[in-house]
Amino acid sequence: MSVKKRSEMAVRYEFKSYRDITPMHVSTGNMLYNKTGSWRFIKPVYEDKTPACQNACPAGNDIEGWLKLLGKREFEKAYWHLKREEPFPAILGRVCFRFCETACNRAGLDSSIGIRELERFIGDQAISGASYPDVLPDNGKRLAVIGSGPAGMSAAYFARYLGFAVTIFDKEDLPGGILRLGIPAYRLPREVVAAEFDGLVRMGVEMKLHTEIGRDISMEDIVSTFDYVFLATGAHQSLSLDMAESSGCGRIMSGLSLLQRVARGESPELGQRVVVIGGGNTAVDAARTAIRLGSQVTVLYRRSESEMPAHPEDVREACEEGVVFRFLAAPEHICLLPDATIEKLVCCEMTPGPLDATGRCTPVRKEGMTFDVPADTLVTAIGEAPALDYLQSFMLNTASSFIETQADLSVACRLPGKAKVFAGGDAGQTPRTVVHAVASGKRAAIAMDCDRKGLDAANVFQQIQVGDGSAISFSRYMSWLPVNPVPRNDQCVVDRRKIVYDYFIKAPGLRKVIQPGELRKTAFTPYQPSLTPDEALTEAARCMHCGRCTECDNCLIFCPDVSILDQTRDSFGYAIDYDYCKGCGICFAECPRNAISMIEE
Amino acid sequence: MQRKIAIPRELLVDEELMLPGMTSCQGCAAPISMKIALKALGNRTVIVFPACCFCVFQGGYPYSNLKVPVIHCPFETSAVVASGAAAALDVRGEKDTTVMVWAGDGGTFDIGIQALSGAAERNDNILFVCYDNEAYMNTGIQRSSATPMGAWTTTTPAGSLKSEPKKDIEQIMLAHHIAYMATASPAYPDDLYRKFQKARQITGMKFIHLLSACPPGWRIDPADSVRTMRLATQSRVFPIYEVTKQTGAAPGEDTWEYDITVIPEKEVPVSDYLKSQGRFRLMTDDMVMKIQKQADRKWRDLVEKRDATRLSGV
Ligand SMILES: Cc1cc2nc3c(=O)[nH]c(=O)nc-3n(C[C@H](O)[C@H](O)[C@H](O)COP(=O)(O)OP(=O)(O)OC[C@H]3O[C@@H](n4cnc5c(N)ncnc54)[C@H](O)[C@@H]3O)c2cc1C
Ligand SMILES: Cc1ncc(C[n+]2csc(CCOP(=O)(O)OP(=O)(O)O)c2C)c(N)n1
Ligand code: SF4
Ligand code: SF4
Ligand code: SF4
Ligand SMILES: [Mg+2]
């Protein structure tokens, strides 16, 4: 029934004299003339919002959207929907640090949705052969992407969508950056990286491998040939320990070089006892790699376990595989044997000292508390810095250890050519994770498109902001329709206080099927199986669809003033009959997921 | 997975038997109950109203917003008017029409109780529904015998809050050996729907006690109306159950089957329910403790009776 019709059906009487009143008082009129909507001072509106998960994802992944499609078994649609904001689900579905899951509102009831595993499931579904929909026609501009890690791949992907002619340059002979030469195959199989690259090639991205900028091609050439440049050369220069004795010893190597050698197919001889110094991803992956090469491994870290930059999940898995961690311990010097092999490492116990500028304790040595650690190989993994030699003549601030960027990721530099230069990923100021690298690629691609069109990028970023602003939405930049055809307030985040948990039934989350550490440590093969379709559907069904209407009928059922009209049969959702809605707010309060807002009139 | 409110969808989107434009306060829970009740009863229903908010806000002469026949009657007479209407329908052979009284707590616990007791004792074929907002709301929030202990009303103001416990109308009705007695709450609409459907099919006296939030009388935000009633059940201040007569082989051999039909999604202390409402703001801790004890006792009693029912195999 349409909204207009109801007030037209009012039956009203005006008695001119008592004679008009029937002797038997029978009411034949109704009160539809009484438009109680005039009582209202705040009104309910259907308004989809940003779920906590999407808000926490640096790439602004529309998780709720593709979970909804997955729930309807529309696997392919879910795949393409996912790729609107996050292009590489098969990769991030394996290595992402689960920012979304940490924020997921479901944790307020039982446990977070296993978003990363579901993302991997979707990514693995449709990985090959698919052709890309909606890529815009060529816009006449050429983009050079330097570096084929996740930042470069992402910039290429989004820029290609926007019609740029994209060429990726990489000095290596295989693309992927850390995805291929850092993260070991037991966490990220090479075929997965290769398949995501096939996708880029199918989109029309040109790949120039084995081409080092600064050596094979100069930056001058690049900036005069291309209209835009995206610098995504990562951070591959390992910082070295301050120990003079170490020079010239063949059994001392950086974590990254160990990982690279193994990734290239070598099996370096490490000896029985390997000591790894550091507490980041590189340290943990180097340790787990050394275990797989047959050594006993001890990791020394100068701070406490909770301060480790490595992801706790990876640390736990390393422990299960037999890696021994020794916290609050740092090497002092190395004792070498006459044949330049290592005898032992002299270390010292540390204690948390005064807070530094970042709010972390600076460890200080405990006087006299030294101890020996026998070792055959020493692996140092105390951090990596970008190698920026190729930019020497362009950088304004040559003292900087990273590429300084503006909010739109553009780089202020002394460039003689025509190109505008942007930078992202580990080489820039982006936090060092794959998803942040991907997010930086998206941001830069949109900034370049804004520049091309003469739009103010800051203004555009604000319009396409996801939630409270850490991410931006490519879908909205492209004006693609969301899954729910209803108005949206993407800047409003649905956190736990806005969920009516009473409406949700507790259900156990994913039970992780994972090989035991003893078995895992014998091979570089992946150890965690994909979800089965049944597992994926069961897990997807736990999602509460925060902030997004699911047509659950609660508002329709509870409205005391029959002012909510069903539209689910003809289109989507419900309409509010503002002729009669009194603005009580019950529909708003009883919406389990905060898909209704109350706004002042 | 969402706890879906299980009411047949075709009924939800079907033509409503209750129209908007009523003058009920924002957030009044009574129309939610009526809307769902009418979905279960259908249009072959006659409603008898004593004086109460509902009879006023649904339209005074010459208006009515309910698309079923409605009889307005003097305050104390609703049950007997309903008995008469039921007898008349019986004479005409109209067996498929439900006669329903829809009365406030004043019209049930206090003024209407004599006529109600008579109809119950005779086991007349009517459905008596009390929507209990726990005071005489229409005339400005005066205390009734349904007002809970510790509540503020205009006749139990600060300094002399109601000191007597709420009258146990459910026990009174059960003492009449009626065919069906149930409690229900619009916070659990599918349970409410099912109970009206069940009542419709039972011949004899049916009594349904509905909790009904009243934002101005309870001193709550209109938007919190349903949430507050949910807290009433979660705190076991208002447990949701039903008692159904099982007719015995011979007169005097009837038994009554107890069932707790809503097991709340979580348990909360009564203070959570009480603290959410302005009318209980002045309650002492001592009173809160008493209410907690009463709630615990009532719940234990119900569980015992339900389990006894199950054991006896009815
Ligand atoms: C061992 C390890 C494990 C990690 N594990 C995780 C993890 O599990 N999850 C996570 O989220 N993050 C992880 N990280 C961090 C993450 O890998 C990085 O933040 C991310 O790869 C950065 O991407 P990028 O594109 O900026 O750089 P990179 O991935 O480093 O790619 C840079 C590319 O640029 C190329 N290049 C450099 N200089 C030139 C030049 N002059 N000319 C041409 N090409 C050049 C390089 O060959 C390389 O391919 C890990 C990092 C390491 C080191
Ligand atoms: C015999 C009689 N006495 C008093 C009144 C005035 N009166 C009308 S409604 C009402 C209050 C009804 O209270 P309740 O039954 O609890 O219903 P509510 O208004 O709270 O829904 C009163 C006292 C009346 N109409 N008739
Ligand atoms: S329940 Fe679903 S929509 Fe809500 S935060 Fe978690 S994954 Fe996102
Ligand atoms: S429940 Fe009904 S009357 Fe109340 S605000 Fe919502 S639409 Fe309006
Ligand atoms: S006074 Fe209370 S019971 Fe009466 S219409 Fe208002 S909210 Fe409903
Ligand atoms: Mg009352």
Residue B161 scores a pLDDT above 70: yes
Distance CA B286, CA A357 (A): 53
Any residues with Cβ below 6 Å from ligand 3, and which?
A 51-53, 63-64, 104-106, 113, 115, 543-546
Distance CA B292, CA B275 (A): 13
Q: Which residues surround ligand 6, an ion (CB under 5 A)?
A: B 104-105, 133, 137
> What backbone torsions phi and psi does residue B120 show, to the nearest 5 degrees?
-70, -45
Q: Do the chains contact at B223 and A505, CB–CB below 8 Å?
A: no
When scoring A542, A557, A569 by the number of chain B Cβ atoms within 10 A, the one with the most, hence best to mutate, is A557
H or E segment at A368?
strand A361-374
**Are the C-beta atoms of B7 and B40 separated by less than 8 Å?**
no
- Taking the centre of ligand 5 as the mean of its atom positions, its distance from the CA of residue B257, in whole angstroms, is 34
Nearest listed ligand to the Cα of residue B137: 2
Q: Which atom of ligand 4 is the closest one to the Cα of A586?
A: 1
E strands in B170-266:
180-184, 206-211, 241-246, 255-260
- Which residues on chain A are in Cβ contact (under 8 Å) with B58? 31
Verdict on whether the full-model pTM lies above 0.90? yes
Distance CA A150, CA A249 (A): 34
Per-residue confidence band for A221, with pLDDT thresholds at 50, 70 and 90 = very high
User: Is A589 an 8 Å CB contact of chain B?
Assistant: yes
In order of start, what are the domains of chain A with their CATH numbers? 142-236+386-467 (3.50.50.60), 240-383 (3.50.50.60)
Phi-psi region of A76 (alpha: psi -120 to 50; beta: other; left: phi over 0): alpha
Question: For B98-106, what is the mean pLDDT?
Answer: 98
> What backbone torsions phi and psi does residue B222 show, to the nearest 5 degrees?
-50, -35
Which DSSP string do the residues of A122-151 spell out, in sequence order? HHHHT-SSPPPTTPPPP-S-EEEEE--SHH
Residue A563 scores a pLDDT above 50: yes
Residue A140 scores a pLDDT above 90: yes
Cα distances (Å, whole numbers) of residue A500 to A591, A593, A594: 7, 7, 8
Buried b / exposed e along B202-240 (16+ C-beta atoms within 10 A): eebbbbbbbbbbbbbbbbbbbbbbbbbbbbbbbbbbbbb
Residue A506 scores a pLDDT above 80: yes
Chain B residue with the nearest C-alpha to that of A29 = B63
Residue A244 scores a pLDDT above 70: no
pLDDT at A74: 93
Q: How far is B31 from chain A (nearest CA, A)?
A: 5
Q: How far is B314 from chain A (nearest CA, A)?
A: 30
Q: Please identify, in words, the CATH class of the domain defined by B9-313.
A: alpha beta
H or E segment at B120?
helix B113-121
pLDDT averaged over chain A?
92
Per-residue confidence band for B208, with pLDDT thresholds at 50, 70 and 90 = very high
Residue B313 scores a pLDDT above 70: no
Cβ–ligand 5 distance for B46 under 6 Å, the answer no
Cα distances (Å, whole numbers) of residue A195 to A17, A189, A437: 86, 10, 19
Choice from A178, A217, A218 to test ligand 1 binding pocket (greatest atom count within 8 A of CB): A178
pLDDT at A257: 94
- Taking the centre of ligand 2 as the mean of its atom positions, its distance from the CA of residue A544, in whole angstroms, is 44
Q: List the 22-61 stretch of B: residues with Cβ below 8 A of A.
A: 22-24, 26-32, 35-36, 58-61
Q: List the 546-585 stretch of A: residues with Cβ below 8 A of B.
A: 550, 552-554, 556-563, 566, 568-569, 577, 579-580, 582-585
Q: Report the alpha-carbon angle B45-B49-B50, nearest 5.
A: 155
Residues facing A350 on adjacent strands: A365
Cα distances (Å, whole numbers) of residue B197 to B33, B37, B42, B97, B262: 13, 8, 9, 13, 16
Q: Render pLDDT for A422-445 as a digit per residue (tens, 0 to 9).
A: 999 999 999 999 999 999 999 999
Q: Do the chains contact at B5 and A577, CB–CB below 8 Å?
A: no
**Are the C-beta atoms of A483 and A475 separated by less than 8 Å?**
no
Residue B151 scores a pLDDT above 70: yes
Q: Do the chains contact at B24 and A592, CB–CB below 8 Å?
A: no
Give the strand pairing for B127-132 and B98-104: parallel
Radius of gyration, alpha carbons of chain B: 19
Q: Render pLDDT for B49-76 as a digit per residue (tens, 0 to 9).
A: 999 999 999 998 999 999 999 999 999 9
Distance CA B46, CA A432 (A): 71
Residue A1 scores a pLDDT above 50: no
Any residues with Cβ below 6 Å from ligand 1, and which?
A 95-97, 146-152, 169-172, 177-178, 182-183, 212-214, 232-234, 236, 256, 259, 281-282, 285, 390, 425-427, 432-435, 437
Cβ–Cβ pairs < 8 A, chains A and B: 144
Note if the bond before B62 is cis, omega within 30 degrees: yes
When scoring B4, B18, B24, B26 by the number of chain A Cβ atoms within 10 A, the one with the most, hence best to mutate, is B26
Choice from A64, A112, A119 to test ligand 3 binding pocket (greatest atom count within 8 A of CB): A64
> What backbone torsions phi and psi does residue A556 show, to the nearest 5 degrees?
-60, -40
Q: Which atom of ligand 4 is the closest one to the Cα of A564?
A: 7
Protein residue whose Cα sits closest to atom 1 of ligand 2: B75
How far apart are the two ends of chain A, measured CA to CA in Å? 25
pLDDT averaged over chain B?
96
Residue A20 scores a pLDDT above 50: yes
Buried b / exposed e along A45-59 (16+ C-beta atoms within 10 A): ebbbbbbbbbbbbbb
Q: Render pLDDT for B217-259 as a digit per residue (tens, 0 to 9).
A: 999 999 999 999 999 999 999 999 999 999 999 988 999 999 9
Distance CA A115, CA A99 (A): 10
Q: Render pLDDT for A27-77 as a digit per residue (tens, 0 to 9).
A: 999 999 999 999 999 999 999 999 999 999 999 999 999 999 999 999 999
- Taking the centre of ligand 6 as the mean of its atom positions, its distance from the CA of residue A430, in whole angstroms, is 63
Residue B168 scores a pLDDT above 70: yes
Which DSSP string do the residues of B4-55 spell out, in sequence order? -----HHHHTSPPSB-S---PPTT-SHHHHHHHHHHHH-SSEEEEE-SSHHH
Q: How far is A574 from chain B (nearest CA, A)?
A: 11
Q: Render pLDDT for A351-402 as a digit per residue (tens, 0 to 9).
A: 998 888 888 888 998 988 999 999 999 999 999 999 988 888 777 676 788 9
User: Is A404 an 8 Å CB contact of chain B?
Assistant: no
Buried b / exposed e along A477-514 (16+ C-beta atoms within 10 A): beeeebbbebebebebbbbeebbbbbbbeeeebbeeee
Q: Hunting for tokens 């101005």 — which residue is that? A: B216
**Are the C-beta atoms of A27 and B55 separated by less than 8 Å?**
no
Protein residue whose Cα sits closest to atom 2 of ligand 5: B214
Distance CA A225, CA A8 (A): 69
Cβ–ligand 2 distance for B106 under 6 Å, the answer yes
Q: How far is A118 from chain B (nearest CA, A)?
A: 17
pLDDT at A130: 64
Residue B312 scores a pLDDT above 90: no
Q: Which percentage of chain B shows pLDDT scores above 70?
A: 99
Give the strand pairing for A377-380 and A252-254: parallel
3-state secondary structure string across A505-572: CCCCCCCCCCCCHHHHCCCCCCCCCCCCHHHHHHHHCCCCCCCCCCCCCHHHHHCCCCCEEECCCCCC
Radius of gyration, alpha carbons of chain A: 30
Crossing angle between the packed helical segments B78-91 and B113-121, to the nearest 10 degrees: 40
Phi-psi region of A294 (alpha: psi -120 to 50; beta: other; left: phi over 0): left
Q: Hunting for tokens 């390997």 — which residue is that? A: A274
Q: Render pLDDT for A507-519 as a digit per residue (tens, 0 to 9).
A: 999 877 778 888 8
In this complex, the residue of A544, A556, A558 whose CB is nearest that of residue B226 is A558
pLDDT at A338: 84
Q: How far is B146 from chain A (nearest CA, A)?
A: 23
Nearest listed ligand to the Cα of residue B133: 6
**Are the C-beta atoms of B103 and B72 separated by less than 8 Å?**
no
Domain-wise residue ranges, chain B: 9-313
Residue A4 scores a pLDDT above 70: no
